[in-house]
Structure 1
Amino acid sequence: MTTINQFFIKFSLSLLFGALIIGVIASIAFLYPQSFNSWFPFHKLRPMHTSFALFWIISGAAGCICYFKNQLQPNDGIFQRASSIFMVTWMLTILAVFIHYSLNHYGGREYWEFPPYLNIPLLAAWLFLTFSIIRGFNRNSAAYEWMWFTGIIFFLITFTEQNLWHLAWFRESYIREVTVQWKANGSMVGAWNQMINGLSIFLLVRISGDTRLANSRKTYFLFFLGLFNLMFNWGHHVYNLPNANWMRAVAYGVSMTEWVILIMIIRSFRKTLTEGKKLRNYLPYRFIAAAELWVFANLFLALLMSIPAINRYTHGTHITVAHAMGTTIGINSMILLAVIGYILKIDTLSEKLKKIIATSIRATNISLGIFWLSLIVGGLIKGYLQVNQPDLHFTLLMEKVMPFILSFTAAGIFVLFSLGTITFLFLKKPFPAAEQN
């Protein structure tokens, strides 16, 4: 493992830490604008929080893929140079993003609200990553490598699509531009899900020692279903825009179904894992178990949200935020922390620190559950009032929702402390000596 790869993984963890801190500050700023507007107004904190979270997921996934790919191709100097260029360019551009935010320089579109020219080095960096991953890849590669490859390729495609608004033809029509933006962002989530699914399969193979899992029919079914999903399930993101009904039907049929197969694989893994292997990888196993819990919860919520009659009430409310947060923290972050914990060999920590991490995982699940439910109930109230009482003044509407925003903020503070503790301990943990070059 190269020194740059080590630094990149730690850099990714620092982005998670930033997302947690800025998220809590943004929630408090939303509740008490009179106290924060002079220094940290919500409308400036929101894009910072979004960028921290977005870059944590993408960077964490890419860094872990580079680590494992380097293990699979340990003597490939071209791969190491190309991936290193990606990591350095990517990190420097992210730093530039937050410097621009601190100077009040904004631009772009939703989720990518920094000055648009910074997309150029991001694109260049991702091209180097794509080139490095292609090396050594062939049709006989394991299913998890196919997941990494297709996830990286489709991220490149959707990232390019997300920037089509720079062309005048797309900006001429508001509906056209918004449709492309929402479609691209929806498909992009599917792209990094492919990358993270591949990492989860690779980790399960490593922990269990069952190499059959890497090429089982069930795993390949997950791969193809995930690929189909990221290409076609974006339709539920544009339910509220004028489009053909067949798009809604396809989106409903495929929305989030890859999680069902992922649950089946993880449950199969849990049944066959011996107690000794569990103990040797106790903490990564705990993260995987937490991710499984949140897969169930978010699958249920996603299936409800993909029903057009329900989506009418939920679209753009706090329920959308609940789904995004449940997926980002409960599923993606837990899987990435399991993978990074495996890389760091966190089970070699002292018993005291391992107990702190295990307790923090439990506390994160509980506080995230309150956080998630508060957003759902608040979103239901807001959605119902918006549809059935359209003349209700927005201030009165928000008064009905405010108790749940307070509950959500309080739970978010506990998420900061519990998940922040895990992140801090991961940042402090040095990489195993055998992994250093």
Structure 2
Amino acid sequence: MNNKISLLYLATALLALLLGMLFGIFSGLQYILPEFIKEILPFSSLRPFHVTSVIAWIILCAIGGIYYYLSNSDGPRLYSNRLSKIHYLLFGGIGILIYYNYAIGNFGGKEYLEFPPYLILPILIGWLLFGINYYKTMAGKVKDWPVYYWMWGTGIVFMVYHLSEAYLWLHPDMKNNFIKSLAIQWKAGGSFVGSWNMLVYGTAIYVMAKIKGDDSIGRHPKSFFFYFLGLTNLMFGWAHHIYIVPTAPWVRYVAYGISMTEWIILFHMIYEWKKSLPESAKIKNLISYKFLVMADAWVFLNLILALLFSIPAINFFTHGTHITVAHSMGTTIGINTTILLASVLFIVNQIKPNFNLSQVKIGFRIFNISLLLFWLSLLIAGMKRSYWMYFTKGIPFAEMQSQTHWVYVSFLLFGIGIFIGLLLIVVPVLKIIGGTFKQGKQMKLITNEKS
């Protein structure tokens, strides 16, 4: 197998996913038991631990998948294994430093990027190395790029741009102007998400093409329409976050017009692919297929929710409530995580075709049911909070929290269910990845003995 560093990315990503879930559970416990580990890890620390871990899972898994597919495909081979190793070591070292700073309470950043600002420099270097490796691999070696190559390449470029943009608030002109600072924060944050969506959705199309054994899905005009729609969302869709900011009216109109429209095409593409997929291909890649179908269901659910609160009159009541959290969880877990798990399990199926799926299937069911109930609990909590904020008078915040206690208990229990489901899926995968490295060392030892 070529470039085992890709498997290291995937293993690290899976560990970050489990860590992110643990931090999420601890955060939920503090909703119910405010003093729970408060002296060690207050909620102000738990939240960035949780958010950063989940973002690390999405980004590292997408990167690991791209490295794997480029290193083990019949097409272009990865330009430099050394660059991919430096990239991994750089991101791994920065990850440890970020966790250390969170642990000692040393923050200084903003939403999604709450670590001290100077740590963004090595992160940007890592993305530049990834970009160099990717474009050196692809440029001049592949003609008529399938859409997933365009999506991966675009995601890398815009990731560098928007991560740099996210720190414009350090400039005095931005820092001293609250409106500018807030607008650029949400613009960069929204486009940051759009950039990783390019990597994730490109991975979804790649896996669908390989499962079907037909690359036409990556070259279909509909796929490129989806790509340009996603690119438009990346560049402008962020504006649906800032209806409350006094920006130019045209920004709001454009945001309302294009907000979340790419999901409609993604839903249609997965649905059409599912209908046209031969039964033999489903059986051969059963669990990856199931995760992609599950992602399609979550696209549909989240699309309804997103289109509703993209309407400014509704957004006014939902902004800052658990309804926004439900949207975020539906996206990062329901869509991004299921697509990436489909990718990981597709890779594992290539490494070990006779992989025992019994435990993973149980985990899939638990994960699926728990996630739906968790999402519904967040929606209920958000509606209760919104009702308290706008339709009641004189009821203290503490009383509202007390009345919502049972909802917090429910989403904590369902969050634990999600964690258990993921544990049943992730542990067997990590064992196979670990076994692959062990076999590689044994083969190397045998080769050295023979020589």
Q: What's the TM-score, normalizing by structure 2?
A: 0.92
Distance 1:346 1:316 in 2: 43
Equivalent residue, structure 1, for 2:449: none
Give the whole-Å Cα distance in 2 for the aligned partners of 1:208 and 1:129. 28
Structure 1 length as normaliser, TM-score? Answer: 0.95
The answer as to 2:172 corresponding to 1:168 is yes
Correspondence 1:219 to 2:223: yes
Flag the 1:6–1:245 CA change in 2: closer, same or farther, 3 A. Answer: same
Aligned to 1:27: 28
- Distance apart, 1:347 and its partner CA: 9.3
Percent identity, please.
37
Farther-moved stretch of structure 1 (342-351 vs 154-163): 342-351
Matched residue SS, 2:357: helix
Unaligned runs of 5+ in 2: 445-451
Q: What amino acid is aligned across from residue 296 of structure 2 in structure 1?
A: E
Deviates more, 1:416-425 or 1:67-76: 67-76
Structure 1 contact 162–184 (Cα < 8 Å) conserved: yes
Please state how far the C-alpha of 1:392 moved relative to its aligned partner.
3.7
| Distance verdict in 2 for CA 1:373–1:77, change over 3 Å | closer
Deviation at 1:391, TM superposition (A): 5.1
What does 1:255-274 align with in structure 2 at a 5 Å threshold? Answer: 255-274=259-278
> Paired residue for 1:297?
301
Aligned counterpart in structure 2 of residue 229 of structure 1, from 223, 229, 233: 233
1:104 is aligned to 105
Which residue does the alignment assign to 1:409?
A: 412
Q: CA deviation at 1:384?
A: 2.4
Q: Between 144-153 and 396-405, report the one with greater CA deviation.
A: 396-405
Aligned residues: 436
SS at match of 1:369: helix
Residue deviations 1:278-335, cap 9 Å, x none?
1110111111111111111111111111010100011111011111111111110110
Q: 320-329 or 392-401, which moves further after superposition?
A: 392-401
Verify the 8 A CA contact 1:287 1:334 in the aligned structure 2.
yes
Distance verdict in 2 for CA 1:366–1:225, change over 3 Å: same
Aligned counterpart in structure 1 of residue 358 of structure 2, from 346, 355, 360: 355
Tell me by how many angstroms 1:89 deviates: 0.7
- Alignment partners' CA distance in 2, 1:75 and 1:198: 17
Measured in 1, the distance between the counterparts of 2:258 and 2:329 equals 21
Shift of 1:405: 1.4
Q: Is the 8 A contact 1:83 1:129 kept in 2?
A: yes
Partner of 1:423: 426
2:229 aligns to what SS in structure 1? helix
The residue correspondences of 1:73-222 to structure 2 (distance < 5 A) are 78-135=79-136, 136-137=138-139, 140-222=144-226
Q: Is the 8 A contact 2:204 2:343 kept in 1?
A: yes
Distance in 2 between the 1:348 and 1:72 partners? 17
Alpha-carbon distance between aligned partners in 2 of 1:357 and 1:275, rounded to the nearest angstrom = 20
- 1:322 is aligned, of 309, 323, 326, to 326
One-letter code aligned to 1:119: I
Quick one: which amino acid aligns to residue 114 of structure 1?
Answer: F
Q: Shift of the alpha carbon at 1:407?
A: 1.1
Give the Cα separation in 1 of the matches to 2:26 and 2:147: 41
Cα distance, 1:72 vs. partner? 4.5
Matched-pair contact (CA < 8 Å) for 1:318–1:378: yes
Question: What is the aligned counterpart of 2:392 among 389, 395, 415?
Answer: 389
Q: Select the residue among 363, 368, 374 that pairs with 1:365.
A: 368
User: Kindly tell me: are residues 431 and 213 of structure 1, through their superposed partners in 2, closer, same or farther at Cα, counting changes over 3 Å?
Assistant: farther
Question: Which digits, 9 at most, give the CA deviation of each residue in 1:59-79, with x for residues without a partner?
Answer: 111111121122358775643
Q: Secondary structure at the match of 2:35?
A: helix
2:174 maps to a residue whose letter is F
Rounded Cα–Cα distance in structure 2 between residues aligned with 1:14 and 1:288: 21
Looking at structure 1, the residues matched to 10 and 78 of structure 2 have their Cα atoms a distance apart, in angstroms, of: 20
Q: Work out the CA distance in 1 between the residues paired with 2:174 and 2:305.
A: 32
Cα distance in 2 between the residues matched to 1:357 and 1:301:
29
Work out whether residues 179 and 238 of structure 1, in 8 Å CA contact, stay in contact via their aligned partners in 2: yes
Taking structure 1 as reference, are residues 274 and 347 closer, same or farther at Cα in structure 2, changes over 3 Å only? farther
Aligned to 1:53: 54
CA drift of 1:180 comes to 0.6
Contact 2:152 2:202 in 1 (8 A): yes
Once the two structures are overlaid, the 10-residue window that deviates more, 355-364 or 137-146, is: 137-146
Q: CA RMSD in A?
A: 2.1
Whole-angstrom distance in 2 between the partners of 1:35 and 1:191: 36
Once residues 52 and 323 of structure 1 are traced to their aligned partners in structure 2, the CA distance between those partners, rounded to angstroms, is 18
Task: Decide which of 375, 378, 382 is 1:379's aligned counterpart.
Answer: 382
State whether residues 371 and 412 of structure 1, in contact with CA within 8 Å, keep that contact through their aligned partners in structure 2: yes
Query: In structure 1, the residue corresponding to 2:39 is in which secondary structure?
Result: coil
Q: 1:314 to 1:77 in 2, by over 3 A?
A: closer
Structure 1 pair 133–75 and aligned structure 2 pair: CA distance change class (3 A): closer
**Are 1:338 and 2:339 counterparts?**
no
1:34 match: secondary structure: coil
Query: Does the 8 Å contact 1:347/1:354 carry over to 2?
Result: no
Q: List aligned pairs for 1:54-73, cutoff 5 A.
A: 54-72=55-73
Deviation at 1:105? 2.1
Tell me, yes or no, if structure 1 residue 38 matches structure 2 residue 42.
no
